Amino acid sequence: MDYENIYIEEENHIAIVTINRPKKLNALNKRTIAELHTAFRELDEDRETKVIIVTGSGEKAFVAGADISEFADFSVEQGWQLAAEGQKLLFDFVENLSTPVIAAVNGFALGGGLELALSCHFRIASDNAKMGLPEVSLGVIPGYGGTQRLPQLIGKGRAMEVIMTAGMLDAKKALEYGLVNHVVKQEELLPLCLKIASRISNNSSVAIKYAINAVNAGFKYDVNGYAAEIDAFGSCFGTDDFKEGTTAFLEKRKADFPGS
Ligand code: COA
């Protein structure tokens, strides 16, 4: 697929996916969602890619939401379809990806933009970032998982207030709420993400895949997280990474994980 609205840079096993519609504050239209789906799928399939960072182009916005111009005249059925397809292609897809995904929130993360950041495995923000779910100010609700993932991260009462007021949290408040893990100056955002990604990339990608799966299991209504953890833990013992990790420890050397 040729990308029009995103670009990808990769170095040292870390891919940076940049959403690039700066004139529309990187709003997620249908094509951008399809491009992101393809990019995440291909990067996840590429065993050389150990960590993915997703960010927005420019200094103003991560993503200012779903592209409002695309759905302003939708019917009930089309609205349902929009949410269902988007969740499947992008938001659930990213959350359940085997490769760790870090959101580098470099400005406005509103509506679908915050929902994308919420789908990532964790978030780091620049100090100019502003986050919110303004959907009720448009007469709609968050439809890309925001009503589920925001309460999981910051608690039900806080999420209710954010959603009902349609207000924006600044980076400081987002940090206080645990919505983001770190806040740094804009020029330090990608360097910090790369530093953390580099630490992640030294570890077993297979074990990380199982860990993502086990953590996510606890947030699924039809899965027993503890049972999922036992299964994932057991599976690790059949991997080459486990053999290498334990052997390297006993031989007092740094592990060189084969990733299988
Ligand atoms: N969908 C489509 N276009 C969007 C957009 C979105 N979610 N967010 C921003 N844009 C477009 C604007 O229409 C404008 O386009 P134009 O220059 O062709 O008129 C351009 O991006 C720049 O945005 P603008 O509103 O002029 O910037 P601003 O600095 O005055 O305001 C925001 C920034 C983020 C506060 C404002 O753009 C905004 O409220 N956006 C919508 C946020 C939202 O409700 N998202 C949830 C969608 S469900």
Neighbouring CB atoms inside 10 A of 104's CB total 26
> Which amino acid is located at 153 in the chain?
L
Tell me if 68 CB under 6 Å of ligand 1: yes
The full length of the chain comes to: 260
Average pLDDT of the residues of the chain: 97
pLDDT beyond 90 at 1? no
pLDDT tens digit sequence for 122-153: 999 999 999 999 999 999 999 999 999 999 99
| Euclidean distance between CA atoms 245 and 257, whole angstroms | 7
pLDDT higher than 90, residue 229? yes
pLDDT at 255 over 90: yes
Q: Tell me: the pLDDT tens digits for 2-37?
A: 999 999 999 999 999 999 999 999 999 999 999 999
Indicate if 135 belongs to the active site.
yes
Rounded to the nearest angstrom, the distance between the alpha carbon of 23 and the centre of ligand 1 is 9
Q: Which two tokens stand for residue 72?
A: 């302003």
Answer whether 0.85 is exceeded by the pTM.
yes
Out of 3.40.50.2300, 3.30.1130.10, 3.90.226.10, 3.40.50.1000, select the CATH number for domain 6-201: 3.90.226.10
247 lines ligand 1 (CB under 6 A): no
Give residue 92's pLDDT band: very low, low, confident or very high (50, 70, 90). very high
Q: Is the CB of 110 under 6 A from ligand 1?
A: yes
188 noted as active-site residue: no
Report the nearest-CA residue for atom 28 of ligand 1.
Answer: 25
Instruction: Indicate which residue of 135, 161, 187, 229 is catalytic.
Output: 135
Q: Whose CA is nearest to atom 11 of ligand 1?
A: 24
Only one residue has tokens 């697929």, namely 1
Residues 10-35 as b/e (b if ≥16 CB within 10 A, e otherwise) read eeebbbbbbbbbeebbbbbbebbbeb
Task: Give the integer Cα–Cα distance in Å for 190 and 197.
Answer: 10
> Where are the chain's structural domains?
6-201, 205-250
Q: Which of 115, 161, 187, 188 is catalytic?
A: 115
The tens digit of pLDDT for each residue in 176-203 reads 999 999 999 999 999 999 999 999 999 9
